[in-house]
Each structure stands twice: as C-alpha cells, then as structure tokens.
C-alpha cells in the first residue's frame, strides 16, 4: 500500500526519536512537512536525533509530555510511552503518568490549536485475550493490578480521555491499536523478543525463551506499520477508530527463534525460563477495519523484514565491539 501523502503541515511527534517515531518522522519529512520531535530520551535515542537533524525541516525539543507545553501544530502524533515490559516496568508510576497526564496535555494542545491528534494505543488493551483474533469491539481481559497494568491500563485510560475530548470539545481524534512491530531503529537492548533474539543470535549466546515458546505473536515490519499510521491520520475526519494495525500472520516464538538463528548463521541454542506474569498466550489482530477504511494491509513478510532488520543490529553490535576495543587500547596507554 502506498501511504496517502501528508504535505505542507507543521507536525508535532511526541516520542519522535523512539523506534516508531524516528521512522514516522523520516516519512513525514520526505513529503515536505515541518516536523518537531518531542522526546524526553527515556527510551528515545540520541543517535536518532542526529540522524533526523540531517533534514532541514526537522527540529528536536527535549521535553517530557507529563509537563504541559505551548507550541503550534496542525497535526499531533502521540507515540510517547515506553513500550517494552523492561522499560515500562522500570518505573510503573512514571509509565502511567506518561499515558494519562501526557494525553491530557497533548489533548489540550490539540484543542487550543484546533489540531488533529492521533493516539498510538496498543494491542495490550486486549490483555491476555479470550477472543482470537482480536477485533476492535473486543473489550479485553486485562489484570488491572498486575505488573503490566501500568502500560495496559494507562493506554486504556488514554483512549477514554481521547474519546471524551472528542465528545465534549469536538477535538479531531484518531485512535490506533498497534500490535508487535519490529525493524531498524529499535533499541537493541529494549528487551522485546525480536531484539533479544537477534542480539543473542549475533553474539552466539543462548536465546532466552520465556515459557514453552508455543505462545504466538504477529510481527509487523515498521515501514508497514508507519504507512498505516499515516493513512489513519489522513483518513476522513469522521473515522476516529480505534483501528487495529498489525500483521495478521501468526507465528509462535519457537518459529521466530529458529528463523533468526537460521538467518544469522548463529550457533545459539535455546534456554527456557519461566513465563512472566500476565504475558499473553495469543496475539493476532483482525485488520478487517483497517483494510476497509484505510485500504491498508501489511506487505512485508516476517523473513523479509528480519533480513532488513538484522544488518541494523549487526552494525550496532560492531560499533559496540569497536568502542570496547578502542577503550581497551586507551587504557593500555595510560
């Protein structure tokens, strides 16, 4: 699918130098927009700031959306929130604040600017689902007091706030629910399964498999996902969503692990560890609504996407190893 063009807009991307934000900013800059990335660098990366600063219409503001900000924009994308369990569980209160207070601040900004605003929600709102695949009408099976609740419930509350601002103040909202996504610009150490497996395989270390590996996920390549995000923002105003964005092709984690070992030529074996609390057993989107309303379907198969992703991690690992060598040499000279 070719994304509808968004052009000649002043665009604010909260979480703009994170994994998804970096790819989104690049695509928006390529079509003639002025893009401001707002990020507190909690999980966003300084390397991504440097990459995006090559574009003359890009600017970066180091800011936490928990605090209000006054800035003009035509469109606002809210991608700001740590999205991997190790990151969002590191400070669960901060994670909830990011989803709730951050959404309030950006919604107020949208209201005062008369701007359209998109919320990046998540398949985590479905919890450990009792319906498979998950449609947008499914209300989920979430543990509100579990260790993942800061993210799950934070995103569910953000959805509620968006629709209340739409009903009460007429704010033009767009709501997407993102399923597992991977690709270049991921933080190699973010603790998500694709990055974990690739980094371990490239280092010929054991791949850590939580549970039996029979649990399933549906992996969407980042370029496909960002095309869906742009299509949603460009869709007719009356279509608010929520809409699922993800790849409906389902794989179990054992299949993913063996594919990564094969593609990296690794000698890694698997080591099995206990399954974390509230980890979903199945995750697969029903994308009928995205197909109907946006004309969106993912195009990149898992193997092809991994072939595009592994070199990014290999380059990162090479730079890390070179830095260690340089440090060792400098130590020897002292």
* Per-residue pLDDT tens listing for the chain (334 residues): 555 679 999 999 999 999 999 999 999 999 999 999 999 999 888 889 999 999 999 999 999 999 999 999 999 999 999 887 788 888 999 999 999 999 999 999 999 999 999 999 999 999 888 888 999 999 988 999 999 999 999 999 999 999 999 999 999 999 999 999 999 999 888 888 999 999 999 999 999 999 999 998 999 999 999 999 999 999 999 999 999 999 999 999 999 999 999 999 999 999 999 988 767 788 889 999 999 999 999 999 999 999 999 999 999 888 766 554 443 444 555 5
Question: CA–CA separation, 66 vs 242, rounded Å?
Answer: 23
Give the predicted TM-score (pTM) of the model: 0.92
Which one, of 72, 9, 20, 74, lies nearest residue 43 by Cα?
Answer: 20
Contacts of 330 (CB under 8 A, 6+ apart): none
CA atoms within 13 A on the CB side of 139: 1
Three-state DSSP at 129 gives coil
Which one, of 207, 180, 185, lies nearest residue 196 by Cα?
Answer: 207
Q: Is 55 a catalytic residue?
A: no
Among residues 88, 151, 165, 182, the one annotated as catalytic is 151
Which DSSP helix (H) or strand (E) runs through 216? strand 216-218
Contacts of 34 (CB under 8 A, 6+ apart): 9, 10, 11, 57
Question: CA–CA separation, 277 vs 280, rounded Å?
Answer: 9
Question: CA–CA separation, 174 vs 242, rounded Å?
Answer: 7
CA 103, chain centre distance (Å): 16
Instruction: Indicate the burial class of 144 (C-beta count within 10 angstroms; 0-12, 13-18, 19 or more).
Output: exposed
Question: CA–CA separation, 284 vs 123, rounded Å?
Answer: 9
Question: CA–CA separation, 224 vs 287, rounded Å?
Answer: 13
Q: Which residues pair with 120 in a beta bridge?
A: 176
* Predicted local distance difference test score (pLDDT) of residue 242: 98
Do the beta carbons of residue 249 and residue 301 sit within 8 Å? yes
Domains in the chain, CATH or no CATH each: 10-182+220-248+280-300 (3.40.50.720)
Do the beta carbons of residue 142 and residue 125 sit within 8 Å? yes
Q: In this structure, what DSSP letter does residue 148 have?
A: T
């Amino acid at each position: 699918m070719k994304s509808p063009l968004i052009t000649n807009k002043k665009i604010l991307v909260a979480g703009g130098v994170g994994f998804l934000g970096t790819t989104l900013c690049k695509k928006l800059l390529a079509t003639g927009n002025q893009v401001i990335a707002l990020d507190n660098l909690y999980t966003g990366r300084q390397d991504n700031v440097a990459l995006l600063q090559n574009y003359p219409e890009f600017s970066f503001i180091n800011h936490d959306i928990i605090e209000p900000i006054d800035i003009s924009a035509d469109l606002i994308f809210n991608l700001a929130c740590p999205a991997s369990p190790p990151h969002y569980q590191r400070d669960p209160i901060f994670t909830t604040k990011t989803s709730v207070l951050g959404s309030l601040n950006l919604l107020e900004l949208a209201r005062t600017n008369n701007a359209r605003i998109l919320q990046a929600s998540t398949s985590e709102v479905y919890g450990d689902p009792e319906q498979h695949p998950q449609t947008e009408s499914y209300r989920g099976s979430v543990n509100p007091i579990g260790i993942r609740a800061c993210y799950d419930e934070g995103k569910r509350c953000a959805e509620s706030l968006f629709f209340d601002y739409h009903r009460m103040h007429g704010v033009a909202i767009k709501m997407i629910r993102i399923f597992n996504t991977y690709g270049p610009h991921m933080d190699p150490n973010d603790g998500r399964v694709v990055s974990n497996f690739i980094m371990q395989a490239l280092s010929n270390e054991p791949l850590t498999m939580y549970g039996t590996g029979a649990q399933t996920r549906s992996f969407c390549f980042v370029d496909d996902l960002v095309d869906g995000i742009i299509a949603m923002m460009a869709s007719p105003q009356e279509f608010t969503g929520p809409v699922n964005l993800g790849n409906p092709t389902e794989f179990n984690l054992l299949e993913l692990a063996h594919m990564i070992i094969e593609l990296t030529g690794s000698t890694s074996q698997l080591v099995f560890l206990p399954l974390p609390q509230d980890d979903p057993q199945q995750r697969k989107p029903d994308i009928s609504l995205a197909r109907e309303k946006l004309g969106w379907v993912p195009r990149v198969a898992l193997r092809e996407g991994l072939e595009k992703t592994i070199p990014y991690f290999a380059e990162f690992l090479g730079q890390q190893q070179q830095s260690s060598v340089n440090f060792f040499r400098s130590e020897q000279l002292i």
